[in-house]
Amino acid sequence: MNEVKVIRVVLMFILLSAINLVVYGCTNTDNKLQQSNETDESTGATSKLEANSGELVVYSARNERFVQALLDKFTQDTGIRAIPLHEASPLRVVEEANNVQADVYISNDLGALGYLHMNGLLLGSNPKGIDTIPEEFRSDDNAYFAISARSRGFIYNKDLISEEEMPKSIEDLFHAKWAQVKNGYAVTRGGNGGMIGHVSALRYEWGDEKTSEWIAVIRENAAGIYQGHGDIRRAVGAGEHAFGLVNNYYYHQQLLEPRDNNVGFIYIDQEEDQMGVVVNAAGVGLVKGGPNEANAIKFLEWLLLPENQVAFVGQSLELLINSHFGAVYPPEVEPYIVGFNEIKAQNMPVKELGNFFEDTKELIEKSGLDLDLR
């Protein structure tokens, strides 16, 4: 065999060896993937690749600042990776009913959770610790429950108006004189969750006709209509408006501002013959058919631990329903915290809000207050 033929044979041998190595490697890798995805018939267990047992998909309507820290703590405590979708409308859960993506839904509005429950989209359960939540703040089958509460009221700028001059009832806004107060007052757009909950409570108390009239009046008389309550508190603090309709914790947040913090708050309708302040709550629901139900139950039980109920409130400065668990407020705010049990609340189970959720948005829009700013 001459030198050229020898070289050709050697090259052919090297090429065939390389091909065999590639084929063996691919086959071996495919076998390992197949084995990792197969069910262990003796135990019924599946691999992590198939079961995604280390994940929890969380849809949330709450401010990301308040929720992300809570989810990070959950992941740190349990090793389960929380995958959030922030600013998620409850209607997204409705839209995905035939292709469920979320495991739990966190809401600022118990009415939204009640609405999802009424439509069969939440699943009843019995998580450990659920007895710490008062019955009026959870559904009968525990498909959803609240952790923190807030009440509606007026934040006001003390440089523009005194406490004595302020309206003391939500019905006071029927009077045109509040349109004449210096710099006027502010409300949110109609689609804001707090506004929807408030109007739902008024429908329960007054009926639709009077509630529609009230919406039309504030639409006409308000000096400012804002995207959210944070915008209102800042505008009132800066003196752009005399007062605004917000949830009480926005008052607490404004007190922490380095400037524009000379503000007060009116808990409305506190007299004996008045309806009491409108109360809403923030909480969580177990989504029916979620891809990680076992981890969702773990999340609920984790959240019901006292330290995590406190963590749910976080920097929001809301009122913890279980105040004895010891929510901590900054020293600038602490003197102004009014315990949830110290205020006169409207005589309406918060769970009732779900019965009004869908129709309320329609009523608001028909009454002239846009759901979104245009």
pLDDT in tens, 137-175: 999 999 999 999 889 999 999 999 999 999 999 999 999
Distance CA 191, CA 369 (A): 9
At residue 93 the predicted structure's pLDDT band, cuts being 50, 70 and 90, is: very high
**pLDDT value of residue 13:** 42
Residue from 217, 203, 205 nearest 368 by CA? 217
At residue 11 the predicted structure's pLDDT band, cuts being 50, 70 and 90, is: very low
> Residue with structure tokens 């019965």?
355
Summarised one tens digit per residue, pLDDT across range 166-175 is 999 999 999 9
Residue % of the chain over a pLDDT of 90? 69
Summarised one tens digit per residue, pLDDT across range 41-88 is 332 333 232 334 599 999 999 989 889 999 999 999 999 999 999 999
Q: What is the mean pLDDT of residues 88-101?
A: 96
Q: Which of 37-46, 201-210, 277-286, 337-346 has the lowest mean pLDDT?
A: 37-46
- Is the pLDDT assigned to residue 177 strictly greater than 90? yes
Q: What is the mean pLDDT of residues 95-121?
A: 95
Distance CA 299, CA 100 (A): 18
Distance CA 76, CA 60 (A): 19
**pLDDT value of residue 231:** 97
Q: What is the mean pLDDT of residues 179-189?
A: 96
At residue 4 the predicted structure's pLDDT band, cuts being 50, 70 and 90, is: very low
Distance CA 17, CA 15 (A): 5
The correct CATH number of 53-148+280-325 out of 3.55.30.10, 3.30.300.30, 3.40.190.10, 3.40.50.12500 is: 3.40.190.10
Task: Record the pTM.
Answer: 0.77
**pLDDT value of residue 15:** 41
For CATH 3.40.190.10, the residue range(s) in the chain are 53-148+280-325, 151-279+341-366
**pLDDT value of residue 320:** 87
What mean pLDDT value characterizes the chain?
86
Q: What is the mean pLDDT of residues 201-224?
A: 97
183 class by beta-carbon count within 10 Å (0-12 exposed, 13-18 middle, 19+ buried): middle
The pair of structure tokens assigned to 353 is 């809000």
Residue % of the chain over a pLDDT of 70? 86
Distance CA 242, CA 154 (A): 10
Q: 151-279+341-366 — its CATH code?
A: 3.40.190.10
Q: What is the mean pLDDT of residues 110-138?
A: 94
Q: What is the mean pLDDT of residues 266-290?
A: 95
**pLDDT value of residue 53:** 55
Summarised one tens digit per residue, pLDDT across range 297-334 is 999 999 999 999 999 988 888 888 887 777 778 888 88
Q: Cα angle at 279 between 97 and 113, to 5 degrees? A: 10
At residue 286 the predicted structure's pLDDT band, cuts being 50, 70 and 90, is: very high
Q: What is the DSSP letter of 80?
A: P
Q: Which of 6-15, 47-56, 181-190 has the lowest mean pLDDT?
A: 6-15
Pairing assessment for the beta strands 263-267 and 144-157 based on DSSP bridges: antiparallel
**pLDDT value of residue 91:** 93
Distance CA 140, CA 359 (A): 23
